[in-house]
Chains A and B, each alone.
Chain A
Amino acid sequence: MDIDVIFKIAAVGILVSILNAVLKQSGRDELAMLTTLSGLILVLLMVAKEIVNLFNLIKTMFQF
């Protein structure tokens, strides 16, 4: 767990933005929408794993 996770999320965000702009430019709005959605889900999977880690950490730390 380090700063590279943040960099990864930033990279996904920037990439999705660029793809979105290119696809919108070429008139494929439905594909642009799908890229946005898939980027969101990709990041959500990364974040969900870490949230589970955080909750386990808190559970052991605060003796739930």
Chain B
Amino acid sequence: MEIIQVVIFSLLSTIIIVLLRAHRPEIAVQASLMAGIIIFALIVSKIAPIFDFIRIYSGKANLNIQYLPVLIKIIGIAYITEFGAEVCRDAGENGIASKVELAGKIIIAMLAVPIVTTLLELIIRIMP
């Protein structure tokens, strides 16, 4: 049961971080960053079977397989962006957090351009 491990870990680290935040806010930020990294490392090995499942069934359904890596990459970028923005927001820097989110959105839009191009070309071809 990984979830019990994750919850106990997060409770313990929350207690430690709250203890630190009163005296040393800058070290508390780093401790919460570390807690986030460790929780992700605990759970990351469970993602691979899900991606394999998606890949196998999109192959069976004759979907266009070439866009799947782009999709997975976009999920990764969204995760990293969220991670960085949350750390900034926890430290009280809302401005930097929203800029990180803006950068993530722009990069995701840039990666999605080929997919949108294919869709638009399909629409243009269908329309007389």
Binding site for B on A (CB under 8 A): 1-3, 5-7, 9-10, 12-14, 16-17, 36, 39-40, 43-44, 46-47, 50-51, 53-55, 57-59, 61-64
Contact = CB atoms under 8 A, between A and B. Distances in A.
Given A3-B12, A54-B40, A10 B31 contact: yes
B34 A6 contact: yes
B76 A39 contact: no
B56 interface: no
Contacts of A57: 40-41, 44
Given A10-B19, A12-B27, A17-B24, A47 B76 contact: no
Given A3-B12, A5-B38, A47-B30, 12 more contacts: A3-B13, A6-B34, A9-B27, A9-B34, A13-B31, A14-B23, A40-B27, A43-B31, A50-B34, A55-B80, A61-B48, A62-B77
A47 to B, nearest CB: 5
B16 A6 contact: yes
Contacts of A16: 24, 27
Contacts, number: 90
Given A5-B34, A58-B79, A43 B41 contact: no
Contacts of B31: 6, 9-10, 13, 43
Contact of B69 (A39, A44, A55, A63): A63
Interface of B: 9, 12-13, 16, 19-20, 23-24, 26-28, 30-31, 33-35, 37-38, 40-41, 44, 47-48, 69, 72-73, 75-77, 79-80
Contacts of A53: 37, 41
